[in-house]
Structure 1
Amino acid sequence: MAGQGLQHRRRRVVVLFSLPFQGHLNPMLKLASLLAARGLGVTVLHTDFNAPDPTRHPAGLAFVPIHETLPGEATSPYSHILTKLLALNAACEAPFREVLASLLMRARHRDDDVACAVVDGQCYAARRRRARQEQLDEPVPDHDPLRVRDLIRVDGCDDDEHCSFITSVADAVRAAASGIVINTFDAIEASELTKLQSELSLPAFAVGPLHMLKFQAPPVEQSLHEPDRGCLPWLDTHPPRSVIYVSLGSLACGDRLVFDEMAWGLAASGVPFLWVVRPGLVITGSGDDDEAPPPPLPEGFEEETRGRGRIVKWAPQREVLAHASVGVFWTHCGWNSTLESVCEGVPMLVQPCFGDQMVTARYVTHEWGVGMEVGEVIERGKVAEAVAEVMVGEDGALMRERARHLKMEASAATGSAMDGLVRYILSL
């Protein structure tokens, strides 16, 4: 009995480590808060780059920097995402292992017992093959509704380097992981979760939607830009479902031509819009200063859309999507953005940029039926047609109804998977 009492007093600790990008940090910090609320000790390892502010998060979380040294390509807003990932992996591996080893050593001299580490692994399993142009619309065997063109990719990056990176991530999961934690829920990915558990022979915990679960002390959102809350009173002045919200996330960047075609497409649509035009959204070739001002709008655009549009550097996205006046979300299909849109019942206009966004976009449009594509080529006429169709067309009405049902499914998520995750951690 004495031994059982000692074991009971030992606190189980979970160590978490996320890539230093907004879309990765926020769900990881939400997971940290939920685990801490269930009695686990939680230590968040983090990079110095885009480091979270401990004072803005629940007191029960411990934050430990790994003090990495990053090359410029890891932090430049104009680097390809694969270049960033490769540079970050190379720079963070040694300091992460050193800090983790130090934590484990200190735990031996205290009453703490490190149960496991939860490490960022967005590309947990994927494969890519070289494809000719005529193969792009072929279905991927056993992965309906995906086509070859929807497979994870980063345009402009070397194929072999890309495949090597994804293979390394998948091999690491199979070799070292005890389980998979995913910010999703059964109603939208039940069959995918079953396949994942079968292929990896590991338990998979669908703990999402994380942002909708109840927190004792809600974690503060990690944001690279200060949200412009003035857009909320502006939305108040518009009728229900009349505004299109446009945001391509915190990392995507494109050329000036695409930006201009987006702008003139919005202008031609006649639809009121709230558009996030952040620093780094357009590749300027003038350096990698992420604090540079946002790109200038096309000449004459503001006069053409005066009184109908609002431009912000950043928006309080969850509040925007929950606003009654927002009818459609034009999105890059980052997973956090997609999940937030699903949970608010807002149909989507999709413009995936890189990585798993292609996969997510295909699910939005062809599996869940809550969105449509802007188009392979961003051209103002097609943009205007797509915006009008999804806002007021028959297809848009069908998408809105399906989105409403998905919102109900998301609201019914109970958080029971989180309880199962905690039980599993305590059993390790």
Structure 2
Amino acid sequence: METQQDPCKLPRNGRRVILFPLPFQGHINPMLQLGSILYSEGFSITIIHTTLNSPNSCNYPHFEFCSFSDDGFSETYQPSKVADDIPALLLSLNAKCIVPFRDCLANKLMSNAQESKDSFACLITDAAWFIALSVANDFKLPTIVLLTDSIAASLSYAAFPILREKGYLPIQDFQLEAPVIEFPPLRVKDIPLLKTQDSNNADKFLSIRDNQIMASSGIIWNSFEDLEQVELTTVHQQYYLSIPVFPIGPFHKYFPAYSSSLLSQDQSSISWLDRQAPRSVIYVSFGSIAAINEIEFLEIAWGLANSRVPFLWVVRPGLGRGAEWLEPLPKGFLEMVDGRGYIVKWAPQQQVLAHPAVGCFWTHSGWNSTMESICEGIPMICQPYFADQMVNSRYVSHVWRVGLHLEGKLEREGIERAIRRVMVEADGQGMRERAMYLKEKVDICLQRGGSSYQSLGRLTDHILSL
């Protein structure tokens, strides 16, 4: 359901929504996409954000942007170490930002009242900003939560108390392959643990996060009913019983892509793809946070080279631990794969996945990447690293069956087999057919009368009623 309407000419409804994104790539993108969707429904949009990883306001001239200082958090922030202790990082970020966020919100509400602008309908916050609900409550501003995970992963986090009670947590090595009876198809090793130095931090963060969700006025997911119908039923019946939920995804398919990337996108990747045969290229990208050691980096490189399949590989600075960029590659590697392999620091991923030359996506299984691949009917090779990526990978390989999960030690022979299985062998044909079926479901859900179209209508009515 893409539209080319000029946003500045869309009718307004006199109501303004404040959006509060978490300052990381995988969280900023869906929040800004959501802002564009709500703007198309007549709402005026204000983005409140930290100075850390500020979004580019020039790409959204019809939005109002208000920033606040993170009280020194950015001075100690190290992007390459984000995944090392996510709970500690998020607890620290929330603690540093509660006062400046409160001041920013107060100033915005006051100036808006003085200038007699659109009245504020609600605050939509990323679920990881657990300070947002209490601050908004002080101003009697209703809060809706955006969950940037899949519905399945969100349920897995909500179920941590049950998983602990049933003896799955803390995880023991001998349990790893055991099924989680209460949450098929997950195994114990697929439980989305947050790596941390202190398990109390993880429990504290997830508890506060879930309390905010339970006390909110609604939940928005970047997913759609046909993809996660069973999980959505579980939401209604077992977890967020009295909270309205709105699966209105996939967000990025409502409008032509606006760039909210924190990294500069190398458009030469598209011109390289233009020279490749249809469905011949494997696209490789492990997202904006994951870091790998030198041995893994080399195994990936040789696995790609030995597969004899053309590849587009995103190697962002910091992907290889201790390396600036491509230093770990063996001498002569780039010359050996010249013409068949192309390496960039960052790519315009949505354009890449929509390109006819791409036949497979080797991914870290972040939810945005997973959804973007599903939307284009591209099968996946999943190499999850942490958190919800484990759940997403399991669903890709064993529920939707549109890809396979690389498990165990990362070795070039296994990589080569996986690539050829998806790109060349019969298994891959079945994955492609199922992926194209899901792509058709995406197109239907966004059309008039489709599930996401209807869910967006309910969300619009809900916000107007607050």
Q: 1:204 maps to what in 2?
A: 245
CA change 1:71–1:318 in 2 (3 A) is closer
Cα deviation digits, residues 386-422 of structure 1 (max 9, x gap): 1111111121111111001001001112233222111
CA change 1:232–1:107 in 2 (3 A) is closer
Q: 2:279 maps to what in 1?
A: 241
- The reply on whether 1:190 has 2:229 as its aligned counterpart is yes
CA change 1:293–1:255 in 2 (3 A) is closer
Q: 1:424 maps to what in 2?
A: 462
CA change 1:353–1:29 in 2 (3 A) is same
Cα deviation digits, residues 172-200 of structure 1 (max 9, x gap): 2113x110011111111112122223311
Counterpart of 1:250, as a letter, is S
- The reply on whether 1:45 has 2:54 as its aligned counterpart is no
Q: 1:32 maps to what in 2?
A: 35
Q: Distance in 2 between matches of 1:52 and 1:295?
A: 30
Normalised to the residue count of structure 2, the TM-score between the two structures is: 0.83
- The reply on whether 1:68 has 2:70 as its aligned counterpart is yes
Q: 1:383 maps to what in 2?
A: 415
Q: Distance in 1 between matches of 2:50 and 2:327?
A: 29
Partner of 1:413, secondary structure, is: helix
1:425: how far off? 0.3
Q: 2:372 maps to what in 1?
A: 340
CA change 1:327–1:283 in 2 (3 A) is same
Q: 2:316 maps to what in 1?
A: 278
Q: 1:266 maps to what in 2?
A: 304
Normalised to the residue count of structure 1, the TM-score between the two structures is: 0.90
The two structures, once aligned, show a CA RMSD in angstroms of 2.0
Q: 2:120 maps to what in 1?
A: 114
CA change 1:392–1:73 in 2 (3 A) is farther
Whether the aligned pair in 2 keeps the contact of 1:10 and 1:111 (CA below 8 Å) is no
Q: Distance in 1 between matches of 2:181 and 2:94?
A: 31
Say how many residue pairs are matched.
Answer: 409
1:164: how far off? 2.1
Q: 2:15 maps to what in 1?
A: 12
Partner of 1:171, secondary structure, is: helix
Counterpart of 2:55, as a letter, is P
Aligned positions of 1:385-424 closer than 5 A: 385-414=417-446, 415-424=453-462
Whether the aligned pair in 2 keeps the contact of 1:328 and 1:390 (CA below 8 Å) is yes
Q: 1:90 maps to what in 2?
A: 95
Partner of 1:160, secondary structure, is: helix
Q: 2:399 maps to what in 1?
A: 367
Q: Distance in 2 between matches of 1:73 and 1:158?
A: 19
1:39: how far off? 1.5
Q: Distance in 2 between matches of 1:162 and 1:72?
A: 23
Q: 1:5 maps to what in 2?
A: none
Whether the aligned pair in 2 keeps the contact of 1:73 and 1:84 (CA below 8 Å) is no
Q: Distance in 1 between matches of 2:68 and 2:34?
A: 20
Whether the aligned pair in 2 keeps the contact of 1:75 and 1:84 (CA below 8 Å) is no
Counterpart of 2:240, as a letter, is L
Q: Distance in 2 between matches of 1:188 and 1:29?
A: 23
Whether the aligned pair in 1 keeps the contact of 2:294 and 2:328 (CA below 8 Å) is no
Once structures 1 and 2 are overlaid, which stretch shifts more, 271-280 or 97-106? Answer: 97-106
Once structures 1 and 2 are overlaid, which stretch shifts more, 103-112 or 235-244? Answer: 103-112
Q: Distance in 1 between matches of 2:14 and 2:398?
A: 46
Whether the aligned pair in 2 keeps the contact of 1:47 and 1:67 (CA below 8 Å) is yes
Find 2:60's aligned residue among 37, 57, 60. Answer: 57
Q: Distance in 1 between matches of 2:13 and 2:402?
A: 47
1:240: how far off? 1.3
CA change 1:76–1:323 in 2 (3 A) is closer
Q: 1:103 maps to what in 2?
A: 108
1:71: how far off? 4.8
CA change 1:158–1:208 in 2 (3 A) is same
Counterpart of 2:235, as a letter, is L
CA change 1:179–1:234 in 2 (3 A) is same
Find 1:224's aligned residue among 250, 258, 262. Answer: 262
Counterpart of 1:306, as a letter, is D
Find 1:133's aligned residue among 173, 176, 196. Answer: 173
Partner of 1:259, secondary structure, is: helix
Counterpart of 1:297, as a letter, is L
Partner of 1:283, secondary structure, is: coil
Cα deviation digits, residues 3-45 of structure 1 (max 9, x gap): xxxxxx9932211111111121111111111212221121110
Whether the aligned pair in 2 keeps the contact of 1:48 and 1:68 (CA below 8 Å) is yes
Q: Distance in 1 between matches of 2:380 and 2:297?
A: 19
Cα deviation digits, residues 63-117 of structure 1 (max 9, x gap): 1112222154434323325043233222222222222233333444435322211
**Structure 1: gaps spanning 5 or more residues:** 1-8, 287-291
Q: Distance in 2 between matches of 1:387 and 1:344?
A: 19
**Structure 2: gaps spanning 5 or more residues:** 1-11, 128-146, 164-168, 447-452
CA change 1:299–1:159 in 2 (3 A) is farther
Whether the aligned pair in 2 keeps the contact of 1:33 and 1:219 (CA below 8 Å) is no
Q: 1:324 maps to what in 2?
A: 356
Partner of 2:227, secondary structure, is: helix
Q: Distance in 2 between matches of 1:294 and 1:44?
A: 37
Q: Distance in 2 between matches of 1:346 and 1:73?
A: 38
Counterpart of 1:47, as a letter, is T
Once structures 1 and 2 are overlaid, which stretch shifts more, 90-99 or 332-341? Answer: 90-99
1:141: how far off? 3.4
Q: Distance in 2 between matches of 1:404 and 1:210?
A: 19
Partner of 2:276, secondary structure, is: coil
Find 2:342's aligned residue among 294, 310, 334. Answer: 310
Aligned positions of 1:125-204 closer than 5 A: 126=157, 127=160, 129-155=169-195, 157-175=197-215, 177-198=216-237, 199-201=239-241, 202-204=243-245
Partner of 2:70, secondary structure, is: coil
Counterpart of 2:110, as a letter, is M
1:306: how far off? 2.8
